[in-house]
Structure formats: C-alpha cells, structure tokens
Amino acid sequence: MKKIGVLTSGGDAPGMNAAIRAVVRKAIYHDLKIYGIRYGYQGLIDGNITEMELGSVGDIIQRGGTVLYSARCEEFKTEEGQRKGIEQLKKHGIEGLIVIGGDGSFRGAEKLTEKGYPCIGVPGTIDNDIPGTDFTIGFDTALNTVIQAIDKIRDTATSHERTYVVEVMGRHAGDIALWAGLADGAESILIPEQPDNFYEVIEKLKRGHERGKKHSIIILAEGVGNAVEYGKRIKEEAQFETRVTVLGHTQRGGSPTAADRVLASRLGARAVDLILEGKAGRMVGIQNNVLVDHVISEALAQEHKIDLDMYKLSNELSI
C-alpha cells in the first residue's frame, strides 16, 4: 500500500483534529502518501481531495472541530453514491481509507471495504455510544464542558435556592448525563437506559429541601424528553422554583482535553498500522486501557452498554 486517505464524517467531536494529525504523521512516518478528504463522504463523491504533508496538521492538536470538515451525505448510502466515491479513490490512486466518525460513518466504511477498498474506523463522537471501545474521542472533552457549566449553574442555584434541570446531549446513550452527574454530585440523573422515575426525583427533592439543601441539580439526557416540560412538571408537583438550561452544541466544541488528545493520537496511529498490516473493515478502540480492534459489523451488532453500577452509585451518593 502506497497511498491512503483520511476523512471525518457525521457529528464532529473535539479530538478529531488530534486523530487526523496522528493518521497523517504516522502515514508519512511509514513513507505512505496521505490524502485528506474534506466534508466526509460528500467530499469523497465530489473529489474534494488533497495530499497532506507534515505541516498540514501542524498546530491543530489543541483545536476543536475538524480541519477536514464533516458532513452528512444521504447519497453515499446508495450503491450509486458509493460507486462515485470509489471512482474518486481510483482517480487519486488511494488504496485504503481511515474514517473518523460515529457508527453511521462506520457503516459507510464497511460498504467500501465490501467493494474492495479497505477501511479502518476510528471512533469519534461525544456520545461514547460505540460498542467495542470503552471511550470514544470527544467524550471526555464534552464531559468536562458539561461539568464546568454545571459548576457555574450550581453557584447561582445556591444563591437563589433553585432547582435546575440541565439538559445534556445523548439521544440514545446516557453516558454524558451519567458521568457528568457523578462528577458533579447531581441529585438525580435521567438517562434513556433507565425508566423515568419522576416521583422518586420529587421525593428526593423534598427530602433535600427538608434537610436545608439550598439547591438541586437534575441532569437529563436529551433522549429522555424535553427539559422545559420536565422543569414545569417539577414546579407543578413540588412547587420548587425551577429553571432549565439546555447546554446544546457547546458540548460539541472546545479544545480537546489531554485524555482526548492522547486517545485520538493512539487510535489514529493504530488505524494506520492496521491498514499496513492488511486489515480491513475493522474499527480501533480502547478496552481496559489496551488498544484493540474489532470487525465493524460484529462490534456494531453489540449493544452499547452503560455502566449501571455507576448509575446505582450516583443514586447511593445523592440520597
């Protein structure tokens, strides 16, 4: 293999740049030519492809977002879209591809692999919802963004003796809510993996109030429901002054934490090694602090599991 490509696809995540840097530098270290494909699979179809040098990835390890930009591309889900992408790969002589993104992006990588273009997936998403890895690139940064915000909310919540409902990202996975809740000592954590326990939440709020607590923080993952509605229900049921904050896309940005930069560097470099070893249709990951790789289809057939022991612990610590 002499020429490989790299793209970022789907939802962006802090640390994607550190992963791109690792892929580019590791490829050049192995005397490969490395091409950057902008705007994910859309850019692949459009031929938005340029060769990258050592300097192309200078001064990006600390930046959020992705210098290769990202996109969603419905056309690539079709045979015709994939054929167009392959034509571009042929035109540039690119023999293998590293795809940094979430599970949707990995499905695209699988399709290309089936059609004879070896791909390796690098898990980049703030949601931490990809099976086959304990952590995804961007999760730690998003988590730190959330806890910094909640620390600030806590100050004002105390001054005014208020209950706050804070909505964080996570349509299907409650990892951000769970970890942020434990890290921030939230009174209640609402995640899609657990049944709604509204009356327990209310009971806990009342108990806290009777003990003289000045504030309460409830963290709600977006997949559970609407935070504004939830805040209204609390106010109606318990008559507590309730405010709602939706953290939204702040969670997607910002300079990646050290943990995300290190993870991205390790996973990006490992992906290049795998492609050089002739592996294809696999994703890299980290499990028990050891780098691993799995067949994409086998990994994605598993269900992402949240750590329910942590959920139990957060309840025990916030009695």
Interaction site with ligand ADP (CB under 6 A): 9-11, 41, 72-73, 76-77, 101-105, 107-108, 111, 125
Q: Check the annotation: does 87 bind a ligand.
A: no
**Is 242 annotated as belonging to a binding site?**
no
Q: Which residues pair with residue 287 across a beta bridge? A: 290
Q: Specify the 3-state DSSP secondary structure of 196.
A: coil
Q: How far is the CB of 136 from ligand ADP (least distance, A)?
A: 10
Whichever of 129 and 293 has its CB closer to ligand ADP, that residue is 129
How far the first Cα of the chain sits from its last, in Å, is: 58
Q: How far is the CB of 295 from ligand ADP (least distance, A)?
A: 16
5 is in an annotated binding site: no
Active site residue 307: no
Closer residue to ligand ADP in complex, CB, 41/139: 41
| Minimum separation from the CB atom of position 125 to ligand ADP (A) | 5
- Our CB check for ligand ADP shows the closer of 221 and 234 to be 221
Q: Which helix (H) or strand (E) holds 194?
A: none
The count of C-alpha atoms lying within 13 angstroms of the C-alpha of 90, restricted to the half-sphere facing its C-beta, is 9
Buried b (16+ CB within 10 A) or exposed e, 160-178: eebbbbbbbbbeebbbbbb
Q: Which residue is nearest to ligand ADP (CB)?
A: 104
Nearer to ligand ADP, 218 or 263 (CB): 263
Instruction: Give least dist CB 70 to ligand ADP, A.
Output: 8
CB of 244: closest distance to ligand ADP in angstroms? 27
On whether 105 is known to bind a ligand per the annotation, the reply is yes
23 labelled binding-site residue: yes
Helix/strand/coil percent split, the chain, to 5: 50, 20, 35
Contacts 24+ apart (CB under 8 A), 45-48: 45/73, 45/75, 45/76, 45/81, 45/84, 45/85, 45/88, 46/88, 47/88, 47/91
From the list 12, 31, 46, 127, the catalytic residue is: 127
**What CA–CA distance (Å, rounded) separates 179 from 91?**
46
Residue 215 in marked binding region: yes
Query: 25 or 294: whose CB is closer to ligand ADP?
Result: 294
Alpha-carbon dihedral angle through residues 84, 86, 92, 98, given to the nearest 10 degrees: 120
- Please name the residue that has the structure tokens 């050089």: 276
Q: Which residues are annotated as a binding site for Mg(2+)?
A: 103
- Which residues are annotated binding-site positions? 11, 21-25, 72-73, 102-105, 125-127, 154, 162, 169-171, 185-187, 211, 213-215, 222, 243, 249-252
Binding-site residues for substrate, in ranges, read 125-127, 162, 169-171, 222, 243, 249-252
Q: Which residues are catalytic?
A: 127
